[in-house]
A and B are shown apart, each in its own frame.
Chain A
Amino acid sequence: MYELTTTRTNPQIDPSLHIWGWEIPVYLFLGGLVAGIMIISGYFIFKGRYKHSYFSCFYLPHISLVLLSAGMFALFLDLEHKLYVWRLYTTFQIASPMSWGSWILILVYPTLLATTLTRVPPAFQNRIRIFDRMSAFITRRPMLVKNIGVLSMIVGAILGMYTGVLLSALGARPLWNSSILWVLFLTSGLSSAAAFVHMITDDVYERELLAKADNGFLIFELFLFAQFIIGLLSSTQAHQAAAHLLLSGPYAAVFWVFVIGTGIIIPLIIQLLAVNHKVQHTPVAPIMVVAGGLILRFVIVYAGQYSHWTTAGM
């Protein structure tokens, strides 16, 4: 037996760490979703689909701007010293993932604006003249459009990776201390974005393509979860205890039912049937995928805070 009795009673620290509430999982989810949307819209732009009469990328950058701003507002709500938020942009701390993240977000907004201008949707045309002129300038140059598509994919990938690196850099929390986390969050963001576009698009080609892509992302995500868990189980006692929080501990029910079950396996089966034309495409599977992505962030952030070096025994 190794038993610790402490007189420390710091709020949010004792009896177990809980410094991050709903704001951080929501921020990480929306960041991942926007990252995925940027990669998908960037790919569509690169492939020249912006020339078609309808394509979902008309609206994706606009939706992304709203979603990303909502995510950043959630992050802002989490700050305890809100009036000092501008301090993030007075320095660049090379070893701090959060500093990297705040500067990456500065890159994301102009990239989204550039993708928005690739083709202004009919509802926005002839409203703001400078946007129409910039849009005409861009669309006259096919190579520039392709480069905007590539830029969108690159910046989206960096944003998606960052959402995982933010947590995995915190070595004091064994559950987060995994080199798989960034690719897991990036894939989950791509999967959620594919499901989101699948849900909102009216175009049959895009719906079929994204349902197929999402099936690939979901299968890869299952593989990554296996790698993530195996990596923890083959590491130190603290990491093994962290893995058991998800496998059989207090977060197991939510993890197995909502992240793996209704978040990946059931929508994967429905979408496999849909792309093979056995059942109709409905919003049910994409909604389950998006909800699963959100719940994944909640489970990882909450269970990660619960995981600790000393709880594993000494």
Chain B
Amino acid sequence: MARFGMVIDTTKCVGCMDCVVACKTENNVPEGYNRDWIVQAVNGTFPTLTMEIRSERCNHCDNPPCVSCCPTGASHVHDVGKVVLVTKEECIGCKACIASCPYDARFIHPEGYADKCTFCIHRVEKGLDPACVSVCPTHCMYFGDLDDPNSQVSKLLASRKHHSLLPEAGTQPRIFYLT
């Protein structure tokens, strides 16, 4: 069974927000809400500073606390690619999943259910890339099966220096940033 993940090359990302616009358009994300977003991280002491621009979203963790804390089973791991999804008809809007996510990747949709990135599973199931990946003008985003050693994402992770977000939270995120 596939285990989908994403690799983002921060040395190519310019923070143009095309991925954000593509996501909002593809998934009808309500005005004022974001399923993905751009973060600019500045680190160091002046004048020795480093800057990383990265596109962030739900990390579709291997150990997702949002799934384990959900009282109704609305938050679940999908059969296809082990993508973390929410069944909106089962969500009561208790917000435990939002509180449990160290990445603050979820929000309450104006219709009352928890919402977040789906890796565009409706596109992926048709053999397409997620909308954010497909529109990136610098081709800094890669999507694929982390369990397949021949996939582009696996090869990039094997050959390039990378990091994930908050590994100390123990959620085993599946989005990796090349540095």
> Which A residues contact B (CB, under 8 angstroms)?
1-14, 17, 19-20, 78-82, 84-85, 87-88, 90-91, 93, 95-99, 101-102, 169-173, 236, 305, 308-310, 314
Q: What residue in chain A is nearest B67 (Cβ atoms)?
A: A95
Instruction: Tell whether A1 pairs with B43 under 8 Å between CB atoms, given A7-B38, A79-B94.
Output: yes
Given the complex of chains A and B, what is the CA–CA distance between A82 and B71 in angstroms? 14
Given the complex of chains A and B, what is the CA–CA distance between A91 and B90 in angstroms? 11
Q: Is B108 an interface residue (CB 8 A)?
A: yes
Q: Is B133 an interface residue (CB 8 A)?
A: no
Instruction: Tell whether A79 pairs with B93 under 8 Å between CB atoms, given A93-B73, A309-B169.
Output: yes
Instruction: Tell whether A19 pairs with B89 under 8 Å between CB atoms, given A11-B32, A96-B69, A98-B94.
Output: no
Chain A residues within 8 Å of B25, by CB: none
Nearest CB of chain B from residue A110's CB, rounded to whole Å: 21
- Tell which of B37, B92, B96, B169 has the most Cβ of chain A within 10 Å: B92
Which residues in chain B, 83-110, are within 8 Å of chain A measured between CB atoms?
Answer: 89-96, 98-102, 104, 106-108
Inter-chain contact B74/A87, CB cutoff 8 Å = yes
> Which B residues contact A (CB, under 8 angstroms)?
17, 20, 32-34, 37-46, 56, 65, 68-74, 89-96, 98-102, 104, 106-108, 112-113, 166, 168-170
Inter-chain contact B68/A96, CB cutoff 8 Å = yes
Instruction: Tell whether A13 pairs with B98 under 8 Å between CB atoms, given A1-B45, A85-B92, A88-B71.
Output: yes
Chain A residues within 8 Å of B89, by CB: 84
Closest 8 A/B residue pairs (Cβ): A80-B93, A8-B37, A81-B93, A98-B71, A172-B102, A99-B71, A81-B112, A95-B68
Given the complex of chains A and B, what is the CA–CA distance between A84 and B73 in angstroms? 13
Given the complex of chains A and B, what is the CA–CA distance between A5 and B107 in angstroms? 19
Chain B residues within 8 Å of A97, by CB: 69
Given the complex of chains A and B, what is the CA–CA distance between A10 and B30 in angstroms? 10
Supply 5 further A-B pairs (C-beta < 8 A) apart from A80-B95, A95-B68: A80-B108, A87-B91, A88-B72, A98-B96, A309-B169
Chain A residues within 8 Å of B39, by CB: 4-8
Nearest CB of chain B from residue A32's CB, rounded to whole Å: 18
Inter-chain contact A2/B71, CB cutoff 8 Å = no
Chain B residues within 8 Å of A85, by CB: 92
28 residue pairs A–B, Cβ–Cβ below 8 Å = A3-B41, A3-B42, A4-B39, A5-B40, A8-B39, A10-B104, A12-B98, A13-B104, A13-B106, A17-B98, A19-B98, A79-B92, A80-B92, A82-B93, A87-B90, A88-B92, A91-B72, A91-B73, A93-B72, A96-B68, A101-B71, A169-B69, A170-B69, A170-B100, A172-B65, A172-B100, A236-B168, A308-B104
Q: What residue in chain B is nearest A103 (Cβ atoms)?
A: B71
Given the complex of chains A and B, what is the CA–CA distance between A99 and B42 in angstroms? 41
- Tell which of A97, A169, A170 has the most Cβ of chain B within 10 Å: A170
Given the complex of chains A and B, what is the CA–CA distance between A97 and B74 in angstroms? 15
Chain B residues within 8 Å of A88, by CB: 71-72, 92
Given the complex of chains A and B, what is the CA–CA distance between A80 and B169 in angstroms? 27
Given the complex of chains A and B, what is the CA–CA distance between A19 and B68 in angstroms? 19
Given the complex of chains A and B, what is the CA–CA distance between A90 and B40 in angstroms? 43
Nearest CB of chain B from residue A101's CB, rounded to whole Å: 8
Given the complex of chains A and B, what is the CA–CA distance between A20 and B97 in angstroms? 12
Q: What residue in chain A is nearest B93 (Cβ atoms)?
A: A80
Chain A residues within 8 Å of B70, by CB: 93, 96
Inter-chain contact B95/A6, CB cutoff 8 Å = no
Q: What residue in chain A is nearest B57 (Cβ atoms)?
A: A8
Inter-chain contact B113/A81, CB cutoff 8 Å = yes
Given the complex of chains A and B, what is the CA–CA distance between A170 and B40 in angstroms? 27
Inter-chain contact A7/B17, CB cutoff 8 Å = yes
Inter-chain contact B107/A12, CB cutoff 8 Å = yes
Instruction: Tell whether A78 pairs with B94 under 8 Å between CB atoms, given A11-B33, A309-B102.
Output: yes
Given the complex of chains A and B, what is the CA–CA distance between A173 and B92 in angstroms? 21
Q: What residue in chain A is nearest B108 (Cβ atoms)?
A: A80
Q: What residue in chain B is nearest A101 (Cβ atoms)?
A: B71
Given the complex of chains A and B, what is the CA–CA distance between A12 and B104 in angstroms? 10
Given the complex of chains A and B, what is the CA–CA distance between A305 and B32 in angstroms? 21
Inter-chain contact B94/A310, CB cutoff 8 Å = no
Nearest CB of chain B from residue A269's CB, rounded to whole Å: 37
Given the complex of chains A and B, what is the CA–CA distance between A112 and B122 in angstroms? 49
